[in-house]
Structure 1
């Protein structure tokens, strides 16, 4: 097949067709911001305590029937224990509280009659509806992790589906399926059904994310392609993420919230007629006429004249026998240098995703307004993406990633030193930590792609992406540790990140170096600390010398 970029160069770089498509694809990413973190509000745990059936108890005894306990430095009614009511009733036969009663002498029992929940912030959540507290508290982080389990499945399957059926079909099927599943989730009558549906929401959501990313890189011009894959995708995701808490603020019932989020997807229906299929994919399938029709429509929109024949039939052949098709995951394990590099990348991806999603999910547990906290958490990502994108153009990857990891982990470790009264300062430190993790998120994508040779790049990125899902699956459980000690999640995430910020220095530098093409070129690492970094001219000269020596030996 001929060079697609050369064959379509007449379209230009910033024509109207590309600009319209750029914004249409980015609007799809706004929906991923809506749908990826609604569990923060749907799965929030309102203030609660044991339900006390009134009987002949006075209001004073109703309040006195619940023991007091210290939670996160504050004295509040116990959430899982109450005094044995039979004893309470016997002591208050006339309906008032005797002054000589010592409450500490009364035995306690579990909340056998259920719980009562505060409706000051949330009118209804899955926690208050299905009593996911106390002995069932573990079900909340499990429900959160099912989304990321779905991510793991979707990231493994979506690429194969879009390669077989086309980018456009998989994109819009994923978008429609995600909306219908969220709508069905709002009618869940049990926690188990909610989790099963949430798993498939995650699978279709990551499929939507990846397929739109691939479609944009294949259809957009080279100049807009770079902007789309950096600031475009991330910033529009942030827009959805920032709008989410205000929708949740207006709709405090979890079922209504899901129905509204699902219904907003209706606005994407017209995009089916506006977003084209990938001409590159059509060419790879041998569908030359359809590919040319899309390119000619793009030329008309850009007000340029297209040649009568854009792609020659003789050049459109399926490329077989390429070196990249002969490699599997076993080749990553065969070489010591590649094996060590992959191990380091896996740990980096897991830690960064654990920290990023952990802090995103933790906003409902912070002091202050949970809706404002979620908005601030999303807002910190905007400058993080902008700053990291510009730094990547001129700074080495290795120290840049270590610095961002150090910022993220360092601020989290400082939180435990902040007094209880300075919760605003603690919130600021957590937002600063989120800023560091977000910048690390941006860098690690590009850095990993530059580390692997062309023949293993897709495979290496796929393995690292799978490791990232493991990190995001564990994130809800890391946050759950805060129920035992509120500083424990920060200490764990901060410590792991600081260690990796130092161990990251053992990876080779890639900035300003020619991307490795073959397995042998990536293996040119010395003691895992030093890589033979050759410029393009040096590498070409070395190859010519090798060829010259081979010719001399032949003759």
Structure 2
């Protein structure tokens, strides 16, 4: 009974991390400073994580007619009619000219010839810069390479975070993305651009998981939902900033040089941002944790209880130290492999992440482009995500994680499947179902970060969360292929989106509820989440207050 009542104490060198964090409060000056710093990191992620949408966007172009215009011609709308009527043919083929000396309107025949040179209507993206006309696969490959980079990044930085700290992982990711991403502005070829895109993503894809985990480990269990909502809104602000800056600095090289270099300022976080107290305690670095705790108490003008002070000043005993060191010598993945509960949970979480990335990006890619300014449209699409974030903030702490996410997956699944049965003359209904599915999957995507992190122990949280997110990138890699599939079977993409979401909802029934539970610090504590236990001390104290 004693061990169950205070599981965090055993895993944190004799210090009850939850009790300490509760006494420090959650809205003092110390916390507000950390929130502000982490918020900037989240805004940076929203600003930089999908730059390829505009930088590698398609632009208008047509065939160059060498018999009638110079090789360096720049006039996009020609006076002659050398172009066929079809939209695709106009871009990649031209009418033959039997009499090269004449460029008159009726001099061109109906015979089509392939183009070898093009005139571009805009030079704002890499399409014109690297002559990517009629090579759409090269444009879309930029997004695919981006997602492959995320797949590589997450386990690497997950290990760095769990081994050397959340703070180091966050600073490293935020600064490297600025340094490497800036190099794209100096690309001299398409191949160089793609390589730098990959390296940039490997460096920067883990900034948000590091920021998220650092924040939830600073807060008590009753504020995890607000953390998710807070960081979700910061991502939206970053996305809106991205669109506004892209509209202001339309030329891709200029945009990069304006947006990426300021990320180097995150190096100042070495002095400004504290390390996760919970992580330090779980690693046995009690002295460093105590230093941060005392500084936070002083900043927040808080007096710690006598029991807490005793825990903080008490010397750790040698048996505990030896025990912890012996445990640390066990490989993390060996511990995971020896736990059927954690392995099963890891597989289920991975499917949730695959579903979120597959459906979220798939719906965005397969949606009909809105008429009007593309930057304004992007801002509108990003703004819709606020509905899902706010909904999560209102319901996750009231009806629980499982029921909220189950409802989100089921609503998304049925909405996507129902789209295939909507008659073509009811396009408004199809649009409504699409938006409903988009909001639902965004809600699931937002909530799954928190739920996944609550299912795994502190010393492996970032690594296992990173693994799930890494596997999930399979979905975002497959999503761009759905328009190609729709050419052959128009209804199949929507059915696949709906089916994967419904399977994810069914799997939600197999995992434990984490509402009002303390974050597990060890594999054993994470396994015990599946067992029905009486309310822990935190819940009892919260109910009394």
Q: Which TM bucket (shorter chain)?
A: 0.7 to 0.9
How far off its partner does 1:110 sit?
A: 1.6
For residue 3 of structure 2, what is the aligned residue in structure 1? none
For residue 299 of structure 2, what is the aligned residue in structure 1? 301
Change in 2 beyond 3 A, CA 1:250/1:412: farther
How far off its partner does 1:340 sit?
A: 6.9
CA contact (8 A) 1:18 1:224 kept: no
For residue 127 of structure 1, what is the aligned residue in structure 2? 127
For residue 472 of structure 2, what is the aligned residue in structure 1? 468
For residue 549 of structure 1, what is the aligned residue in structure 2? none
Write the distance in 1 (CA, Å) between the matches of 2:423 and 2:389. 31
Matched residue SS, 1:37: coil
More moved, 340-349 vs 366-375: 340-349
Change in 2 beyond 3 A, CA 1:498/1:236: same
Residues 1:20 and 2:20 are matched in the alignment? no
How far off its partner does 1:129 sit?
A: 1.5
Residues 1:98 and 2:106 are matched in the alignment? yes
Q: Deviations over 1:434-478 (max 9, x none)?
A: 212101213444555677799997776454322212112223333
For residue 374 of structure 1, what is the aligned residue in structure 2? 378
Residues 1:65 and 2:82 are matched in the alignment? yes
Matched residue SS, 1:40: helix
How far off its partner does 1:491 sit?
A: 4.1
CA contact (8 A) 1:40 1:361 kept: no
For residue 233 of structure 1, what is the aligned residue in structure 2? 231
More moved, 319-328 vs 244-253: 319-328
CA contact (8 A) 2:415 2:433 kept: yes
Write the distance in 2 (CA, Å) between the matches of 1:164 and 1:269. 20
How far off its partner does 1:255 sit?
A: 1.0
Write the distance in 1 (CA, Å) between the matches of 2:369 and 2:418. 18
More moved, 325-334 vs 238-247: 325-334
How far off its partner does 1:8 sit?
A: 5.8
For residue 81 of structure 1, what is the aligned residue in structure 2? 93
How far off its partner does 1:34 sit?
A: 0.3
Q: Which has the higher contact order (CA 8 A, sep 6+)?
A: 2
For residue 177 of structure 2, what is the aligned residue in structure 1? 178
Write the distance in 1 (CA, Å) between the matches of 2:76 and 2:266. 53
Write the distance in 2 (CA, Å) between the matches of 1:338 and 1:163. 17
Q: Deviations over 1:136-158 (max 9, x none)?
A: 32122221122222212221111
CA contact (8 A) 1:147 1:202 kept: yes
Residue 536 (structure 1) aligned to one of 529, 533, 537 = 533
Change in 2 beyond 3 A, CA 1:172/1:512: closer
Write the distance in 1 (CA, Å) between the matches of 2:470 and 2:262. 30
Gaps of 5+ in 2: 1-12, 537-545
Write the distance in 2 (CA, Å) between the matches of 1:285 and 1:520. 16
CA contact (8 A) 1:413 1:491 kept: no
For residue 495 of structure 1, what is the aligned residue in structure 2? 496
Residues 1:144 and 2:137 are matched in the alignment? no
Residue 49 (structure 1) aligned to one of 57, 62, 71 = 62
Write the distance in 1 (CA, Å) between the matches of 2:128 and 2:433. 31
Residues 1:253 and 2:251 are matched in the alignment? yes
Write the distance in 2 (CA, Å) between the matches of 1:298 and 1:520. 27
How far off its partner does 1:7 sit?
A: 4.7
Change in 2 beyond 3 A, CA 1:131/1:431: farther
Write the distance in 2 (CA, Å) between the matches of 1:46 and 1:131. 11
For residue 19 of structure 2, what is the aligned residue in structure 1? 6
For residue 189 of structure 1, what is the aligned residue in structure 2? 188
Would you say how many aligned residue pairs link Structure 1 and Structure 2?
A: 508
How far off its partner does 1:11 sit?
A: 2.6
Q: Deviations over 1:490-540 (max 9, x none)?
A: 74154333354156325426347998998899799xxxxxxxx8642599x
More moved, 398-407 vs 185-194: 398-407
Matched residue SS, 1:138: helix
Change in 2 beyond 3 A, CA 1:400/1:302: closer
Change in 2 beyond 3 A, CA 1:130/1:493: farther
